[in-house]
Structure 1
Amino acid sequence: MGAARWLALGSLLALGALLEGRLVGEGEAGFGECDQFFYAETPPAGLEAEGHVKICQRSEGTERFATLYSIRDRIPVYSAFRAPRSAPAGSEQRWLVEPQIDDPNSHLAEVMNEADAIAAVNSLGSKQALNADYLDSDYQRGQLYPFSLSSDFHMTTFTLTNAAPMTPTFQKRWYMNLNSLMDRALTPQCGSGDDLYIITGAVPSDVKVKDKVTVPELVWLAACCAVPGGGWAMGFVKHTRDRDVIEDVMVKELEKLLPFNPQLFQNNCGETEQDTEKMKKILEVVNQVQDEERMAQSKESTSPLSSTRSERSALPPPDAVEERSSFWGKLIGFMATPFIKLFQLICCLVVGILKSIVYFLWYVITQVINGVESGLYRLGAATVSYFLTIGEELASIPWKVLKVVVKIIRAILRILCCLMKAVCRILGIPVRVLVDVAAFPVYTMGAIPVVCKDIAMGLGGTISLLFDTAFGTMGGLFQVIFSVCKRIGYKVTFDNSGEL
């Protein structure tokens, strides 16, 4: 890319539209109306912390992107947006501040120029970075979100809440990487780009600009394509160290590199339905972008010669030569000049060829080393992931086997219990019958003496009763007879005594 492209990415059109940055209240869920810039309208989980504020970046009453801003580090934690397009060439670059961050009671709901905010905002710069914080330093304001959703509103991204300290070289390479990835890989592999969700963020380091604005240790980008049946998710990381190229990682690996181990996309952007073929095509483009970045670094590392051959050939001759005035001296000098020039030319050619060979060998060695490093890193990452997956499956086998064995034992015990109950129910009645039948003779034989005894006692009682009845009857008869006779004799006696 030419210098004009880099200037285009860092410039703006004239500020002709109203820009708003609504600060989302602590009581509001998510980012309010800016939830549309997140997959499934769900912001990343785990990145919000004390000292973070949520901003819904708006322009002309329309939401443009969302930003989670750290007032402690004075850099954005991340910015989220959809369907980005590169900002067109512009004229003036106007960096804006958010009044409500420093003054929550401010009635100014629009982002504004720092010069205008000085007189209108209380404690300006107490919680957010200002343009003055970057002056006379080795860093400049670098956008985490260097795109525009519309060519009319690309100035929206030029807010200090969407900027982090970057060196000029790093900023140039970061913008080059993002533009190449967006134009050649991410957007083409996601339909028209309307279903493409992008989150860019920064991880703070221990270095600060003027002891106020934290320099990122690394910047990152996570992309989620939500096309039904053909979606995918990818992550990219770029360390701020020199000569580090952008790295492609899976979203889960990216989450492990971030503080608090967050979840960037709900359900990992539909992980079970992702299109691996599109991800392979994206990785091919990433490899090309990495090679282009390495070539650019190699070209930048070449330094010009301390002095040109023409400058050395134009050096004035020694004073001794200038003092020669004899004809022979001039003649010898005239004759020696072509040989000297030829010798210098041969030396220049030899040195140039040797330098070209050295540069070529250095480039080849660098490419080989970088390729080997990249290959080893990917091989190591794939191997670790493979063994971790195998380990998880192997570790889960004993537990799964134990669960199956327990279920089998429980089933067998239930079957045995049911069989025992059935047997008991089947054999319950015959057993009682057999016991009663077996006990019947015993009960019968044992009852014979008792029956005989009862019979004898019954017969004896009957006989005794007969005797008692007979004797009682006879006694009664004798008593009646005796009473009758006695009465008869008494009457006779009485009659006889009357007659007398």
Structure 2
Amino acid sequence: PSPGRWIRLCSADFILALCISLFPGFSQGRVVGEDEAGFAECNVFFPGQVPPEGFTEPFHVKICQQYNREPRFATLYSTKDKIPLYSAFKYIKAAQNEEESWLVEPQVDDPDNDQQEMVLEADLVGTVANLGANQALTSDYVGSGYERGLLNPSLLNEEDFQTATYTLTNAVPLSPSLSKTWHRDVGRVVEQALAPHCPSKDHLYLLAGCDSFQHPCQGQGVRCPRCCGWRRAVTLQRGDLTLFKGSCGGDSKTKEKVEAILQAISQIRAGGQVGTNDSQESKESGLVRKVAGIIATPFIKLLELLIYLLVELVKFTFYFLWLVIKRVGSTILDGASSLWSGVVSYLQAISMVLISIPYDLGRVVANISLGFLEIVQDVAFLTYRILRIPVGFILHLAAFPYHSICAIPSVLKDLAAGIGGTFSLAVDATATLPARLLLRGQPHSQAVCP
């Protein structure tokens, strides 16, 4: 059960709750604790700040989605089925879809993680304990045949609000055709059927959810919604419901506005465009449009089926051609790669041989030069040994006259000294001879000298 003030577009897949209130608010994004009421700060994304009640399973996690330190929308997430039960958000301005960058919520898998806002999945690998244990990852959708359908559609948001919608805690598995229909028609319902009746667009509150889950999607850990699309039925929950309150239409014309919304939704289901005037002529033609829509719906469905089959056939054809081209291209590339490797190896071997030729030639020339120098050295040494003795003899012979001439003064000096000595001895001998003869002729006597 849930409180009043919301319209439910119910089906086997989706519940689109559209609420209008007067009290916008501010919040900080985080995984809401069990001891806090509702979605804590994120209650402002609900009319009257009162979220739906009755979701009390232990695997239901309340997330206040935050991006760039600002709250963007609220999500009730099932960690058991790894898909959101619903997302609540405000509609302010639609915008073209930007590039998709899928985000995850760290605290869903790791409650003790201190990151309180969504982060790119690639940036969390290895930093979050048990990443993917309680929430879906991109790998869960790979090869499953399903696309990530946004409960809070990106086309109903702009700038950072749009970037924040690309979180896997805001996505449910949808078939490609249903995903396209959902994202197209929900934008038309909001822009053409609801926004014109609420002058202050920042007071238009929306809540989108999905129905029960039956089986895992193609064996993945993510469970798929039960069936079909949101356009199978449109119902209005009544009771104490107040659709347009205060400055957003709380007057006697509320019933007429509700009928206008339902007519606009029926027209969107039929594939038509919705006008924004409430003239009497438009009211009178409403029944005609309903009948035309009922009549045209089977043909539109048939046309959609044919278009879907044609698109799938074209996709299959292109996929088959892609596989063929990929296989042929892979074979050609492998062959070219092998050929290129062989050519490179051959050129490398030839280059090494060609480079080694000058090197070897230089080594041979150097060895020959060194050998020649050794021969010249040996010849010179042998010549020196042969010529060393005669040269010494000749030098000594040539020096003999010089030494002989130089020795004459010394010889003459020595000769003169010898002759002088001889003459001196002769003179001394002659002088002492008479005295000796005289002494020899006299008698010997003892002479005493006084």
Task: Give TM-score scaled by structure 2 length.
Answer: 0.52
Q: Does 1:75 align with 2:83?
A: yes
Cα deviation code 1:40-59 (max 9, x no counterpart): 11111113322101111122
Aligned length: 248
Q: Which residue in 2 is equivalent to 1:278? A: 257
SS of 2:63's partner is strand
TM superposition shift of 1:151: 3.1
SS of 1:280's partner is helix
SS of 1:298's partner is helix
SS of 1:137's partner is coil
TM superposition shift of 1:252: 4.5
CA distance in structure 1 between the partners assigned to 2:202 and 2:256 by the alignment: 20
SS of 2:189's partner is helix
TM superposition shift of 1:271: 8.7
Q: Does 1:111 align with 2:84?
A: no
> Residue 21 and residue 131 in structure 1: after superposition, are their counterparts in 2 closer, same or farther (change >3 A)?
farther
SS of 1:245's partner is helix
CA distance in structure 1 between the partners assigned to 2:80 and 2:244 by the alignment: 34
CA distance in structure 2 between the partners assigned to 1:103 and 1:185 by the alignment: 41
Partners of 2:29 and 2:69 within 8 A in 1: no
Cα deviation code 1:241-275 (max 9, x no counterpart): xxx7342211259xxxxxxxxxxxxx534699670
In the TM superposition, what are the counterparts of 1:71-150 in structure 2 within 5 Å?
A: 71-90=79-98, 92-147=99-154, 148-150=156-158
Q: Which residue in 1 is equivalent to 2:60? A: 52
In the TM superposition, what are the counterparts of 1:227-306 in structure 2 within 5 Å?
A: 239-240=228-229, 245-252=231-238, 268-269=241-242, 275-292=254-271, 294=297, 296-302=300-306
Partners of 2:45 and 2:90 within 8 A in 1: yes
Partners of 1:55 and 1:67 within 8 A in 2: yes
Q: Does 1:216 align with 2:199?
A: no
TM superposition shift of 1:121: 0.4
CA distance in structure 1 between the partners assigned to 2:172 and 2:235 by the alignment: 22
SS of 2:177's partner is helix
CA distance in structure 2 between the partners assigned to 1:269 and 1:61 by the alignment: 34
> Residue 207 and residue 179 in structure 1: after superposition, are their counterparts in 2 closer, same or farther (change >3 A)?
same
> Residue 247 and residue 85 in structure 1: after superposition, are their counterparts in 2 closer, same or farther (change >3 A)?
farther
> Residue 88 and residue 289 in structure 1: after superposition, are their counterparts in 2 closer, same or farther (change >3 A)?
same
Q: Which residue in 2 is equivalent to 1:470? A: none
In structure 1, stretches of 5+ residues that fail to align are 1-19, 219-238, 254-266, 305-500
> Residue 112 and residue 88 in structure 1: after superposition, are their counterparts in 2 closer, same or farther (change >3 A)?
same
In the TM superposition, what are the counterparts of 1:420-459 in structure 2 within 5 Å?
A: none
Q: Which has the higher contact order (CA 8 A, sep 6+)?
A: 2
In structure 2, stretches of 5+ residues that fail to align are 1-27, 273-296, 311-450
Indicate the RMSD between aligned Cα atoms, in angstroms: 2.4
TM superposition shift of 1:149: 4.2
The sequence identity of aligned pairs, in percent, is 38
SS of 1:53's partner is strand
TM superposition shift of 1:213: 0.7
CA distance in structure 2 between the partners assigned to 1:153 and 1:287 by the alignment: 29
SS of 1:197's partner is strand
Letter in 1 for 2:41: E
CA distance in structure 1 between the partners assigned to 2:244 and 2:120 by the alignment: 43
Partners of 1:88 and 1:151 within 8 A in 2: no
TM superposition shift of 1:118: 1.5
Cα deviation code 1:344-382 (max 9, x no counterpart): xxxxxxxxxxxxxxxxxxxxxxxxxxxxxxxxxxxxxxx
SS of 1:175's partner is helix
> Residue 134 and residue 186 in structure 1: after superposition, are their counterparts in 2 closer, same or farther (change >3 A)?
same
Partners of 2:140 and 2:220 within 8 A in 1: no
CA distance in structure 2 between the partners assigned to 1:292 and 1:71 by the alignment: 37
SS of 1:292's partner is coil
Partners of 2:29 and 2:70 within 8 A in 1: no
TM superposition shift of 1:296: 4.8
> Residue 168 and residue 55 in structure 1: after superposition, are their counterparts in 2 closer, same or farther (change >3 A)?
same
CA distance in structure 2 between the partners assigned to 1:192 and 1:271 by the alignment: 12
Letter in 2 for 1:283: L
SS of 2:61's partner is strand
Partners of 1:102 and 1:121 within 8 A in 2: yes
Partners of 1:146 and 1:175 within 8 A in 2: yes
TM superposition shift of 1:83: 2.1
CA distance in structure 2 between the partners assigned to 1:182 and 1:281 by the alignment: 13
Partners of 1:73 and 1:204 within 8 A in 2: no
Q: Does 1:186 align with 2:194?
A: yes
> Residue 271 and residue 50 in structure 1: after superposition, are their counterparts in 2 closer, same or farther (change >3 A)?
farther
Partners of 1:64 and 1:149 within 8 A in 2: no
Letter in 1 for 2:221: K
SS of 2:303's partner is helix
SS of 2:169's partner is helix
CA distance in structure 2 between the partners assigned to 1:164 and 1:175 by the alignment: 12
CA distance in structure 2 between the partners assigned to 1:93 and 1:296 by the alignment: 31
SS of 1:250's partner is coil
CA distance in structure 2 between the partners assigned to 1:84 and 1:297 by the alignment: 32
CA distance in structure 1 between the partners assigned to 2:211 and 2:92 by the alignment: 22
Partners of 1:86 and 1:146 within 8 A in 2: no
> Residue 89 and residue 245 in structure 1: after superposition, are their counterparts in 2 closer, same or farther (change >3 A)?
closer
Q: Which residue in 2 is equivalent to 1:22? A: 30
Whose Rg is larger? Answer: 2
